[in-house]
Structure 1
Amino acid sequence: MNKFKGFTDSETFSQLPDKFFHNLLKDIDDAAELKVTIYFLWRAEHMEGPFRALSRMDFDVKELGLSADEIKRGLEKAVKRGSLLKVENEAKVYFLLNSPRGRAGVEAIESGKWNPASATSAPPVERPNVFKLYEENIGPLTPLIADALKDAEAMYSDEWVADAIELAAKNNKRNWKYCEAVLKRWKDEGRHGQKDQRDTRQGSERYTKSEFAEYLDG
């Protein structure tokens, strides 16, 4: 057994349907079925598009800690139980959640109106927490900075804070005040507007002039 080091103070969370806890958790007695069901729910939440489908190959052996045969068995049990739906398209097998959207997805696949192969289904990338990211890119994590990071995560998001830290490191402006100024700018003007899509040099200049000048030293 690998010893788990514990959760951090900066975790992202994935939603699970309440019915999973009320109706499925107590009935699923096979570890493989439980793993593939939770894995599907996690992957589906991070997918975009009208429907959420995973092929059998999308169920990662390493992440699940299961063999290919165990994954196959778990999926078959989940389909038999009715938590997942199974459909074939162009010689590939896909699985969808047994929900109104999932059932509509099966109909769309069977009628040729939607090809699940066109959807991207890469698993979400695990990002380092902002405390570790700060120490690696900006400097020592003092109690004051730790509190500031927590406040920033609550006000913005861990993704925004991480991106601001990475931008500060990229521009060699390694101090928290600079990161904070970037976050305020993003909040006031938006992150993905036209001004945010300039080339690297222009983007760097944008954060090294005018109101950010006082944060550029030290």
Structure 2
Amino acid sequence: MTNKNLPASLRGEEFVLLPESFFTQAIPEIEDIAELKVVLCFFYLLHHKQGYHEFITHGELLSYCVPVIGEQGFHSGLRAAIKGEVILSLSKDINGRQEDVYFANKEALDRASRGITPKQAAQPLNIFALYEQNIGLITPLVAEELKEAAKVYPAQWIEEAFKEAVNMNKRSWKYISRILERWASEGKDSGEYRQGIKKSGANKYIKGRYGHLVKR
């Protein structure tokens, strides 16, 4: 019988990054074990994808998942993950034929649907790039929150907040959003609001749809 236990020491093991929202928002909604296995396989493949790719093809996911959970489990789990929008899907031309491809967030899906590559879309201090580099993959659940923050806070603030979170070993969007909210309400460095952010704009973010992420 195969030993399925983890090794006593994980030293030297490579870790696969998963966004915090996967544990706090996605897992509570996943009720089927097949769906959970498909989602974990998807993130594993996406983590190891080489080059500027933001999606996994149906063939890639099928080839990896079927030996793990069987063909029936794969198809039922994938349907559930797409229905719950944990995984987003799009039909795309791959080497001259249409194939379903899967994304972890709406931003990547929108770029692919417009024919924009991640390399073309990359921008310095982009909040999405900062999140992926310092926290992990962006899910549909957190993409809208990042978009709202990018509208409210200066790009320099956002980059510095990510750096502070990394230095404090607090790699979560919740922690970073609290840094930004504190700077907006109390002032940053000089105690005054920097040019580019209005008090009303910060309050709108704090009290609005995503206010639960930046509680005082």
- Shorter-chain TM range is 0.3 to 0.5
TM-score normalized by the length of structure 1: 0.44
